[in-house]
Copies of this chain bind each other. A is one copy, B any other.
Amino acid sequence: MPEIETAVAENLRRVRKETPLVHHITNLVVTNVTANVSLAIGASPVMAHAQEEVAQMVRFARALVLNIGTLTPATVDAMLTAGQEANRLGVPVVLDPVGAGATDLRTKSTERLLSEVKVTVLRGNAGEIATIGGYGGRVRGVDSLEGSRDMAAMVSEMARHFGTVVAATGKTDYISDGQRVATVHNGHLLLTTVTGTGCMVTSVIGAFVGVGKDPLLATAGALAYYGLAAEIAAREANGPASFQVALIDTLYNMTEEELSRGARIRIAPV
């Protein structure tokens, strides 16, 4: 299906042309790197988390990214306010449930966000997604120890249940909107040696769903783009820190043609 790769490249072209503003309410570990990844891909990030301004800020946004990595009750309240305003305006919402399953605060805040906000894309690692879906994944801190065995079934069932695109990322990424399951086979092991690489791809997804019409395809495309950049960056990296530098440079430099040639995405009906 060459039209998948063409559509993915078209999404990148639109991000670079339209510079979508992506409003982030995110964690303290990744504020800088997710902003830099957003800029590198051509998007325009804004970080704003005060309850007093989030509803007003999200009006400028083409996408809202919510990330609970260092959540407090106050930031969750701001996420709910921003998320509901995004829903009212038709702005897509991407949720990264960092560490869901590790503590009650994380698990319950994720449940609350999923029930009180219409989420467009839920992106986590296999353990987080399995926990949220009740598949019994185990989570230790913010690490995923294991996911569900049948990932494709899990993400498609959860997509139907929550009415959202669900992406469980890992060596292979599984994405479903309930009708289709996409798998993405790009990526590199060095991504596991840098903090926030999951959060960064969530920001890329935010930009892609901000400009794309099909959230499943936008999510798969963002994952392929990011994973392919990691593969290229790994060739010149000497370790985790030079890898991160090369990753951001590669996201910036990759042409749309390189992306459509290198993306390894398969989409099948459920």
B47 near A72 with CB under 8 A, answer no
- In angstroms, how far is the closest chain B Cβ from the Cβ of A169? 17
**Known contacts A32-B32, A195-B45, A239-B253, A52 near B73 by CB under 8 Å:** yes
User: Are A239 and B40 CB-contacts (below 8 A) given A32-B30, A32-B32?
Assistant: yes
Q: How far is the CA of A73 from the CA of B78 in the complex (A)?
A: 14
- Is A141 a contact of B57 with CB atoms below 8 Å? yes
Number of interface residues of A (CB under 8 A): 63
A191 to chain B, nearest CB (A): 11
Whether a CB of chain B sits under 8 angstroms from the CB of A27 is: yes
Question: Which residues, 6 to 49 on A, are CB-close (under 8 Å) to B?
Answer: 21, 23, 27-33, 35-36, 38-40, 44-49
- Which stretch of A208-216, A220-228, A241-249 is in the interface? A241-249
- B52, B53, B60: the one within 8 Å of A140 (CB): B60
Contacts of A170-197 to chain B: CB distance below 8 A: 192-196
Question: In residues 248-270 of chain A, which contact B (Cβ within 8 Å)?
Answer: 248-253
Interface centre among A21, A40, A103 (most CB of B within 10 A): A103
In Å, the complex CA distance between A262 and B103 comes to 41
Contact A27 B47 (CB under 8 A): yes
Does chain B have a CB within 8 A of A83?
no
Q: Are the C-beta atoms of B240 and A248 separated by less than 8 Å?
A: yes
Give, as a whole number of angstroms, the nearest-CB distance from A26 to chain B. Answer: 9
Q: Are B241 and A245 closer than 8 Å at their CB atoms? A: yes
Give A residues with C-beta under 8 Å from B. Answer: 21, 23, 27-33, 35-36, 38-40, 44-50, 52-53, 56-57, 60-61, 69-73, 99, 102-106, 140-143, 192-196, 237-242, 244-253
Show 8 residue pairs from A and B whose CB-CB distance is below 8 angstroms, ordered by the A residue. A29-B31, A40-B240, A56-B103, A56-B105, A57-B103, A61-B141, A239-B251, A245-B245
10 closest pairs, A vs B, by CB?
A239-B249, A46-B141, A241-B248, A35-B195, A53-B103, A53-B105, A239-B252, A241-B245, A56-B103, A50-B72
